[in-house]
Structure formats: C-alpha cells, structure tokens
Amino acid sequence: MEWLLLLAGAFLAGLIDAVVGGGGLVQLPLLLAVFPSVGIPILFGTNKISSIAGTASSAWQYSRKVSISYRLALPASLAALIGAASGAAVVSFLPNHALKPMVLVLLVVVGVYTWFKPEFGRRVVQRREWTWPRLLAVLLGFGLGFYDGFFGPGTGSFLIFGFVRLFGMDMLHASASAKLVNFATNLAALVFFLSHDGVLWQVGLAMACANIAGAQVGTWMAVRHGNAFIRWLLLTVVSVLAIKLAWDIFSH
C-alpha cells in the first residue's frame, strides 16, 4: 500500500511539475509521512532523484514540441546551477524559516497579478529589447537557483512568472524554458545531497519512473490545452503554496 501511494504521488507530482512546477507539494510530504524515522536530508535527496528524472523527461518533450529560447534559457540554467549550489551551501548557516514570510508575500503578488491580468501569458508579447537580455536571464536563473537550493517551494512557478513578465513569453514557452532551469537546480541539489547524506536509491528510482510518466502526461496536457490551462494550474499551485506557508507561519 505504501509503494502504491509513493508511485501515485510521484506520478501526480511529475504531472504538476511538468506544467507549472510545485510537484514537491505532493512528493515531499508523502515521503515524510511514509518514512518518519528517516533523516530529512536523505528524503530530500530521494525526492530530487524522482524530480530530476521527471524534469529531464519534461524538458525533452517540450524541446520537441515547443520552440525554446535557448539564448535565454541556457545562460539562466548555468547561473541557476551555480545559484542552487550556493544556496544549498548557505542553508546550513542561515535559518530558512526566516524566508517564509517573504516568500508568502511574493506568492500572493504572483497570484494577484496573474488573476487580475487575464491576458498575462496568453500570447507572446514583443517587449522592448533589453540592453543585456542574457544578463537578465543570468540574474533570474541565479536568484531563483539560489532560492531553490536554500528553500525551494514555488521555484517553478516563479520561473514561469519571470519568463513571462521579463521576456514577454506566453505561458507555454515560459513553462518549457523553466524546465531547463529547474533541471539545473535539481541537479545541483541532488549532487549536494549525494555528497553529504545519501539517498534511498530503491525508493528514488521507483518514484522516478512514476514521475517520468506523470511528466509525459503533464507536458502533453500543457501542449494540447495551451496557455489558459497553464494559467489556471499556476493560480491553483500558487494558492495552495501560499495557504501552506501561511499555515506554517501562523500556526506556531
């Protein structure tokens, strides 16, 4: 029964993550519930095995069906790799719970902005050309990479919002670009956990297979149903994240 729950959770996490990010909302609590006596860093690393497999699968599928702006996504991904490693290194020195109120505010801003801008991300918008668009992509990638390595919740959603707001992408193309950056942050985090605390390989690899299957379905749904579907799922995930963070902050 526990294995069935883990595989079903990994499938759902892969589906959600492929579209707007936020799969950790499903996967991590499930791992913590099924393995209460296992150290949290080990479960975090196990979660990353599953997540990176689904993200890689989703990124590959997107690259075959959607034109990705590699001139922005690749510099952002490289910067995110460095940022995530930096964030993971800093997490042992600073309390990440201090970030929760700020992240809650950012989630509310993203949700409110997306809600009151129905046209946001529905189509590609010609923005004025930034003087250094790659530099902006690097700053976005490093900043959110650092955040993902340090704390994490909502990284995929923030990336999509950033690609739409800064570069005028529609939701579909922003989601595709975000997958490359997310892969980089997951890779950095996985390397960190492997080198420090280890992982549950059997659990992680089994969940990775289910996560890949979910990612394939999620990518297909995103491509088929387009920007409106991604927008509503983004609003849902951001709302759930905000509620969870608010509960964590105000229930203590």
Q: Which two tokens stand for residue 234?
A: 């983004």
Q: For the chain, what percentages of helix, strand and coil (3-state, to nearest 5) are there?
A: 80, 0, 20
Predicted confidence (pLDDT) per residue in 71-104, tens digit? 999 999 999 999 998 887 776 676 656 667 877 7
Q: What are 197-239's pLDDT values in tens digits? A: 788 999 999 999 999 999 999 999 999 998 888 888 988 988 9
Residue from 197, 199, 189 nearest 90 by CA = 189
Return the DSSP state at 197: T
Residue 130: pLDDT over 80: no
| Each residue's pLDDT tens digit, 171-183 | 999 999 999 999 9
Which SS3 state, helix, strand or coil, does residue 174 take? Answer: helix
Number of structural domains in the chain: 1
Q: If we measure between CA atoms, which residue out of 93, 189, 184 comes closest to residue 142?
A: 184
In angstroms, how far is the first alpha carbon of the chain from the final one? 32
Nearest CA-CA partner of 55 in 22, 32, 98: 22
CA angle at 15 for the pair 13 and 17, rounded to the nearest 5°: 65
Per-residue pLDDT at 138:
95
b (16+ CB within 10 A) / e for 76-105: bbbbbbbbbbbbbeeeeeeeeeebbeebbe
* pTM score, whole prediction: 0.87
User: Reduced to 3 states, what is the DSSP secondary structure of residue 168?
Assistant: coil
Residue 127 reports pLDDT greater than 60: no
Residues 6+ apart with CB under 8 A from 152: 24
CB contact at 8 A, 167 and 73: no
Q: Which tokens hold the place of 188? A: 């950095």
Alpha carbon separation from 50 to 24, 70, 122 (Å, rounded): 10, 25, 30
Q: Give how far Cα 131 sits from Cα of 74, 124, 138, 202, Å.
A: 18, 19, 13, 48
- What is the domain range of residue 65? 2-250
Q: Using only C-alpha atoms, what is the Rg of the chain?
A: 17
Asked if pLDDT for residue 107 goes beyond 60, the answer is yes
42-59 mean pLDDT:
91
Give CA–CA dist 219/222, Å, rounded. Answer: 5
In angstroms, the CA 212 to CA 233 distance is: 19
